[in-house]
Structure 1
Amino acid sequence: MDAERQAGRRAWVPLTVGACVLLALCLTYVLGFGEGAKTLADRVALVMMVLAVLTLVVSLRRGTGAAAVEDGAALAGRLGQTVASVELLSRRVIGGDRVPVRVTFAFRRSAHARSATRPLVPNGTLDGLVVDYRAVRPRRLVITGEPGAGKSVLARAFVAEFNRSRAEAEPVPVLLPLGDWGRQELFHDWVVRHLVRDYGCTRAHAAQVMDLGLVLPVLDGLDELDEPGVPLPESRAQQVLDALTGHRSGFEPAPVVLTCRTGLYDVLEASGRPMLDSARVEIDPVEAHEAGRFLAMRRGAVHREGDWRPVLDELRARPQGVLAQSLSTPWRLVAMATAYEQIEDPGGLLGAASEQEVTDRMFVRFIPASVRAADEEARYSPERVHVWLHQLARQLDTGGGAGNTLVLPELARSSGALWARVLYAATVGLLTLVTLRAFLLDDVLGGTGWGFSLLVVGIAVLALLHLRPKGYRLILRSAMWLPPWRSPLWAVAAKATLTGRNRWGFVVSSALPALIMWRTLAPEQLGGMGDWTMVLATLPMLALCVGLLAGQVLDAAVVGPSGWPRGGALLALALLCPTAVLMSLSLRAGLGLDAYTFPLALFGVLYCALSGDTVMYLCWLLVHFRRVPFRLSRFLDWCHAAGLIRVTGGVYQFRHREFQEWLARHPVPLTCPTAPARNPATARTP
């Protein structure tokens, strides 16, 4: 608990400093360098500014984990519910069509003395993995296999099944991609960061469940951390294993599950520095007879038996042939079934001379087949989908993601996004100059002008802090993820906002919109404008603020990775409402062009300070507008529905690393080899 209190204090320091600075600026306004706030309207404006500061601080305090003393079991239960809602094993990943691929595994003896005890009679199947894991002491497991063998599938299935049968005292399994673990970051801090980013936890609550040993990290992708040729002692993979060996819960090794390719882990184990106190399982290759069974039960083979019979006969006749070896992993087997199930003739694979040729022929047809399966009338053409996914694959290869993890808010901070950051800095600078122009051109700056100018400069500095490698957030990103506009999650969010302990935060956070309404509606004798027509302009802002507050009670992982741009868009609309009010007042007063540009620039700077990640993301899209769709999150959600992209927590990943690397090597779709002639009666028009 001491660590939680210290984390809470560290999070509270910048908020306290910011509140003191803003209150000092308010005091500058009051004093006015001798002028003071003389009128009632000025005093009402002052009260609104002070309450705005307090509302902002209280809202941010809610996001930094003020309730860190909450019961750990309750926190783990909520985390488990979130994981259960987003990490259910997608049957499409292991085959779909009611016929999954049978994944089996076997325990392997460790080459060192400090290994975990194994179950006496292991199940060795996908359904029995959790039972086997509970028999391991200590509960540390390494899942190894060849590329595409189903390590990620097995890990995802483990998370779903373990969470379904989890006892209250057991930790919550959380699937975490290892790609973005930095060399200088502690394992504890890295897991906490992912719980905040991917699962909507506050930082204090995430630290609490970690300190209590209520998180079971399921780490995917140890083999994807290093480039070829990196010396083993200097590799990130070796650093991860050293950190996991020292990861403890009390005096015992803490539970953990790790996936890695067989070849790399054999080398790490032979080096004498593997993950100690762990058991190891090896995923078996898919046998030719199992591949034939799976393909024969697919609806494509049932409906087009004549087309599929040569392929099935080849698998039975040559269980060690090129085709059987190419389909010896669940990933390739599912990709092949998807690519040829609808209209393509699978007989075209029989003439392949190597596994690479089989893979190329499958992947050429994989995207068009996935597009046809996703839409009756395709929203995107297969050619455009291929080109856009190629650009994203290249972005990940150059450091735009975490190796195989695509995090939308981090795209503008990647090594290849310099122009996006330059555009963002130029935007903030231009908006700041336009905002200050009304005061900089005056001959004499009064107290109000000086105070306002300092306030604008302070906001601009906060906006530029978003350029830091780790960013800077006045509003936690986990509080900005909103579901689709017609999603039933809105009803859940509204109920949670208006009931229980959340209602007090709702009341406090609604103070500023209510005061703006009062300022608009109240008669002039009470410091208001007494303008009923302006009420209609401010009502939308109140509704948008209520939507933002309701969205805060939803977990980021429940909403999905596309919820973050929606949160940024709703915040922009909430700021545009008072902007429209000020512009309409200027229009009624007959003021010049400066009166119109001033409120737009002011709220633009404020939006950059509150949601700089969103503005930087928009700058990245503008720089890459010819390479990727502008509505990138919508496109990625469509790709997820089509089976080309998978979602882990609050991030996107390609369906498989092999598919990502193939796309990175092929900027344009390859021409499909001519397939043998087929009976037109059995063909289906795409």
Structure 2
Amino acid sequence: MSMRNRPWWRTTGFVAGALALGGVLALLGVFLRTHGLGTTANVAQLVAVALSVPSLAAGLVSWWRRPDTAVAPTAAETGEATLALAGLVERQWRDESLLRSLHDPAPMPVRWRLTSSADLMDRPDYALPAGIAGFAGSSDDAARLAERFLALPRRRLVVLGGPGTGKTTLAVQLLLELLASRAPEDPVPVLVPAAGWNTREQPDLHTWLAARVDQDYPALRALGPRTADRLVRNGGVLPVLDGLDEVHGHERTRVITALNRSLGTTPLILTSRKAEFAEAVAGADDVVAAAPAIVPERIAGADAAGYLEKSLRTASRRQQWQPVLNRLRTPAPQRGEEPLREITASPLGLWLLRAVYVDAHADPAPLLDTARFPAAADLRGHLLDGVIPAMAAARLPGADPDGSAPTSLPRREHDPSRIRAWLSFLAGILDRGSGGDASGGRDFAWWHLARRTLPRDLPLRIRLAVAAALTLVVGAAGFAVGATVFGIWGATAFGPAGAFGGGVVGGGLLAAAGVGLNLLGWHEFAQWSQEPPGYADLRLSGRRRSLVRHIGRSGFRAGVASFGASALVVGFAAWGGEGNGAGIGFGIAVAAAAATVGAPAAGVADGFIAWAETPALPGRVYTPVASFRADRKLNAVRGIPGGCALGLGIGLIVATAVEPVLAAAVGAASAYLFWLRFTFVYGRHHAWPAYLVASRYLAWKGLLPRRLMPFLDDAHRLGLLRAVGPTYQFRHAELQDHLAGRSGR
């Protein structure tokens, strides 16, 4: 590891240790010259004991915390983890399929067949079952397609097609069907965006997939910190990689190579646009091993008419739509497809037509006006322009004010023009960030908002203004805490005059210390935008034993460390008292206080945070909103237990030497400073503070709503966005491209 890449804390620890060692040697030299060899030898022995105890303690803690890699998980443990993951995935995509109306009134009738491009798939005798020369089916009979997938020799399939041809929809349908028919020994299908895989950093599929499963389904951590990794390594996950075409440039070729190198016997479903997939396999000079490739057929006019007719639930509306349905059922003219038939030949066009005209109860007569829409591009642009106001009008706010029901209607009504402006801005920053972000150009991760916007757009004066505001708040809070606690001590010790003096001095000192810590945290703000979101689950139901267990473990570690510190205190107390009984007695008293108070205090703080970051097994579906709330909760509570516990511990220790009122003041001041430290500087989960600064700045500029996450949740409920784990995507890539192209106008 180069010096440039070495973590700062290692360099700091090395320098501090070297200085401490040098200081000890210098002190021993001074003692040797002033007190003689005998006293110096006694001091050296005490120092040696003090220095050896922390090393021994660190070794014991490391040994105690080291996982037992020799013990493999039992079949019962593996079965429990697989069952838990299957339940989480099923709930996630059941709710998402309802929001996407995939089965309302029925799946779109998209027919799939084996590709005629032999260079896009492996040899048929290797990719297909013996005696079967093709692979065909329809999206409105996904169960049959799932059966044919399970009959494949390696259970691998590549789904190809153009924009808006239903590739992702078919992947979701297959996922749900495979879950419904899954045997206990079968792997759990998990859909993940292929754009999130950086093969340069994680060249092995299973390593990346385990990290993604752990991120998208944190409830698995209740079964152990490496549950996701064990599931993936043991073949318990069937990866459904969606959107290879969204991987940037030549990285697509690397994905094909990495897949064939690391798949082994792992099954796979992969979706991609056909042109980008052909480019990738040509660059790799290879195809996905043992995987047939299927492509969609155009939706016939009669099939499109049948789908639309099922969506018309009253006789009067069916009669109103009869001219359109008749036009679709009429054989196409020889001179070429008309715009209406061209649009309804793809799932995207059929969805747009239904959203803008069927669900919005609009008059369908303009659809037959070839003068207004002479080409399919004109009609498509009209539908893309109208989908936002149509869906906002069709799905008015429901009776679920807190949004607890994942498939409920939006929680508030929005102006369609504002929806368009805000979504256009998001589409624009996703379009500019395509390929340059770990989450990919199509995925919007809320914790990447600052990374995508602030370094480029935030002026220096805004940075200084935010830093000054935070400094003012932290300084004022520090002054209030210091003035209060030290004012009380001053009044107790010296009367009214002492109250004023103690308040001013204590408030000034604590304000200065708070400002210093705040500036240190603000200096690290650039790193906040690079940090992943954390997780906090504060539910006590069914988790009380887990809380006690976590506190007990942390208390043991803190106790070992406290006894190491105690030995150091005893040694220096004995040295300070030159070996007399008073010095040693005082050192022993302070050491006992540190051991009996510091260990429980630190144990409660560390154990509480470790417990909060471990979710309950029957966890909720991890949506973007759930991810946001979990990280916000972690940032809100992270500093409280550490600050309170350490403040209490320091106060009790100080009480052995000074009066209780002053000890209480010192404890309260310490609690405040440690709270700042744990909240703004400690740890690597500051995604919410970074998001907060970015979202407020963008709202001030009028580019996004002030409450961005509730708005995105409503856009998801409207059907304009879709959720994949903790990230959002636009409902269709073509909708994102359409909005991004108009975002600057």
* CA shift for structure 1 position 410: 2.0
Question: SS of the residue aligned with 2:440?
Answer: coil
CA–CA separation in structure 2 for the residues paired with 1:494 and 1:206: 24
| Among 83, 89, 96, the residue aligned to 1:83 | 89
Unaligned runs of 5+ in 1: 1-12, 35-49, 440-448, 483-489, 513-525, 528-540, 670-686
- Paired amino acid for 2:254: Q
- 2:694 match: 620
**Are positions 1:99 and 2:96 aligned together?**
no
CA–CA separation in structure 1 for the residues paired with 2:619 and 2:739: 29
| Worse overlay, 410-419 or 460-469 | 460-469
| Worse overlay, 645-654 or 105-114 | 105-114
State how 1:398-409 maps to structure 2 within 5 Å: 398-399=432-433, 401-409=439-447
| Among 138, 146, 159, the residue aligned to 2:154 | 138
State how 1:210-229 maps to structure 2 within 5 Å: 210-226=232-248
| Worse overlay, 194-203 or 351-360 | 194-203
Question: SS of the residue aligned with 2:276?
Answer: helix
* CA shift for structure 1 position 167: 2.1
CA–CA separation in structure 2 for the residues paired with 1:577 and 1:66: 38
CA–CA separation in structure 2 for the residues paired with 1:635 and 1:263: 35
The answer (yes or no) to whether the contact 1:175–1:218 under 8 Å persists in 2 is yes
* CA shift for structure 1 position 129: 2.1
- Paired amino acid for 1:362: L
State how 1:231-630 maps to structure 2 within 5 Å: 235-249=250-264, 253-269=265-281, 272-299=285-312, 302-317=315-330, 319=332, 320-341=337-358, 342-351=360-369, 352-375=373-396, 379-399=413-433, 401-414=439-452, 417-418=455-456, 427=467, 431=471, 467-468=526-527, 471-472=530-531, 477=533, 479-480=535-536, 494-498=540-544, 504-505=549-550, 549=612, 552-553=615-616, 558-574=621-637, 603-608=675-680, 609-610=682-683, 611-625=685-699, 626-630=702-706
* CA shift for structure 1 position 573: 4.4
- Paired amino acid for 1:335: L
The answer (yes or no) to whether the contact 1:387–1:668 under 8 Å persists in 2 is no
Question: SS of the residue aligned with 1:80?
Answer: helix
* CA shift for structure 1 position 99: 3.0
Question: SS of the residue aligned with 2:137?
Answer: coil
The answer (yes or no) to whether the contact 2:113–2:296 under 8 Å persists in 1 is yes
Identical counterparts, % of pairs: 23
The answer (yes or no) to whether the contact 1:68–1:208 under 8 Å persists in 2 is no
CA–CA separation in structure 2 for the residues paired with 1:420 and 1:554: 41
Deviation sequence 1:320-375 (CA, Å, 0-9, x none): 32211111122221221111122322222223112221111112221112112221
Flag the structure with higher helix content. 2
Which is greater in Rg?
2
* CA shift for structure 1 position 242: 0.9
- Paired amino acid for 1:606: F
| Worse overlay, 413-422 or 399-408 | 413-422
Label 1:105 to 1:631 Cα distance change in 2 as closer, same or farther (>3 A).
same
Equivalenced residue count is 562
Question: TM-score, normalization: structure 2?
Answer: 0.64
Label 1:62 to 1:326 Cα distance change in 2 as closer, same or farther (>3 A).
farther
Deviation sequence 1:58-93 (CA, Å, 0-9, x none): 9xx899999985743332222222111212261453
The answer (yes or no) to whether the contact 1:291–1:327 under 8 Å persists in 2 is yes
- 1:117 match: 127
Unaligned runs of 5+ in 2: 1-5, 28-53, 399-411, 483-507, 558-591, 594-603, 652-660
- Paired amino acid for 1:566: R
RMSD, aligned α-carbons: 5.1
CA–CA separation in structure 2 for the residues paired with 1:613 and 1:66: 36
Label 1:65 to 1:356 Cα distance change in 2 as closer, same or farther (>3 A).
farther
* CA shift for structure 1 position 498: 3.1
- 2:216 match: 198
Question: SS of the residue aligned with 1:242?
Answer: helix
Higher RCO (C-alpha under 8 Å, 6+ residues apart): 1
CA–CA separation in structure 2 for the residues paired with 1:333 and 1:650: 28
Label 1:62 to 1:362 Cα distance change in 2 as closer, same or farther (>3 A).
farther
* CA shift for structure 1 position 665: 1.6
* CA shift for structure 1 position 471: 3.8
**Are positions 1:182 and 2:198 aligned together?**
yes
The answer (yes or no) to whether the contact 2:356–2:386 under 8 Å persists in 1 is yes
CA–CA separation in structure 1 for the residues paired with 2:459 and 2:231: 36
* CA shift for structure 1 position 158: 1.4
CA–CA separation in structure 1 for the residues paired with 2:427 and 2:458: 18
Label 1:454 to 1:128 Cα distance change in 2 as closer, same or farther (>3 A).
farther
- Paired amino acid for 2:612: L
| Worse overlay, 559-568 or 287-296 | 559-568
* CA shift for structure 1 position 221: 0.6
Deviation sequence 1:542-582 (CA, Å, 0-9, x none): 9xx79983872258871311123323443454368789999
Label 1:385 to 1:636 Cα distance change in 2 as closer, same or farther (>3 A).
same
